[in-house]
Amino acid sequence: MGEAGATVYITGRSFYKPDVSTEVSDSLQETQVAVEKTGGKCIPIQVYHSDDEQVRLLFKRIQNEQQGQLHVLVNNVFSGVQAIGDAYGQPFWKSEPSLWDAVNNVGLRSHYITSVFAARMMINRSKGIIFTISSWGSVSYIFNPAYGAGKAATDR
């Protein structure tokens, strides 16, 4: 998108790369530099996608700054990496129910909320496209009840 000269809004929890190793691989600042190096304009905004109000305000800002123009949304937000790592390999019934929230609230739910606000802008122009990026978990067994039940049956 940068190569096409687009204005790209990026969001994330961290403007600068943390000094310690975390699940955050790149900062907003690093991504901004990469987009602008290819010829685009990049506007980094710190947003906690678990907070619907912050997401709403993001789209209000884009609406105001871009005169209602939003052409593309790429949903690629997730925060359940640590929770998945902690629970990996154990049957779903041994996990705490809070695992569901850690995996699905920022990710699946946030993709939906973000798509709602983007679609409201796009529908006014009768054009736009939304891409939702998933993880390898969408095509493999991670916490699948069938996997866990089958494993339990073979463990007897």
Q: What is the mean pLDDT of residues 47-74?
A: 96
Q: What is the mean pLDDT of residues 137-154?
A: 52
As a whole number, the mean pLDDT across the chain is 83
Every domain of the chain with CATH number 3.40.50.720 lies at 52-155
User: Residue 35, class by beta-carbon neighbours within 10 Å (0-12 exposed, 13-18 middle, 19+ buried)?
Assistant: buried
pLDDT at 28 over 60: yes
How sure is the predictor about 6, in pLDDT bands with cuts at 50, 70 and 90? Answer: very high
Reduce the DSSP state of residue 127 to 3 states and report it.
coil
107 vs 59, more confident: 59
Query: Please, are residues 41 and 8 in contact by the beta-carbon 8 Å criterion?
Result: yes
- Nearest-angstrom CA–CA distance, 42 and 38: 11
Looking at domain 52-155, its CATH architecture is 3-Layer(aba) Sandwich (3.40)
Catalytic residue among 9, 88, 141, 147: 147
How sure is the predictor about 147, in pLDDT bands with cuts at 50, 70 and 90? Answer: very low
Q: What is the mean pLDDT of residues 10-16?
A: 80
With CA atoms as reference, report the closest residue to 46 among 14, 17, 2: 14
SS3 content of the chain, % helix, strand, coil (to 5): 50, 15, 40
Q: What percent of the chain has pLDDT over 90?
A: 47
Reply yes or no on whether 112 is catalytic: no
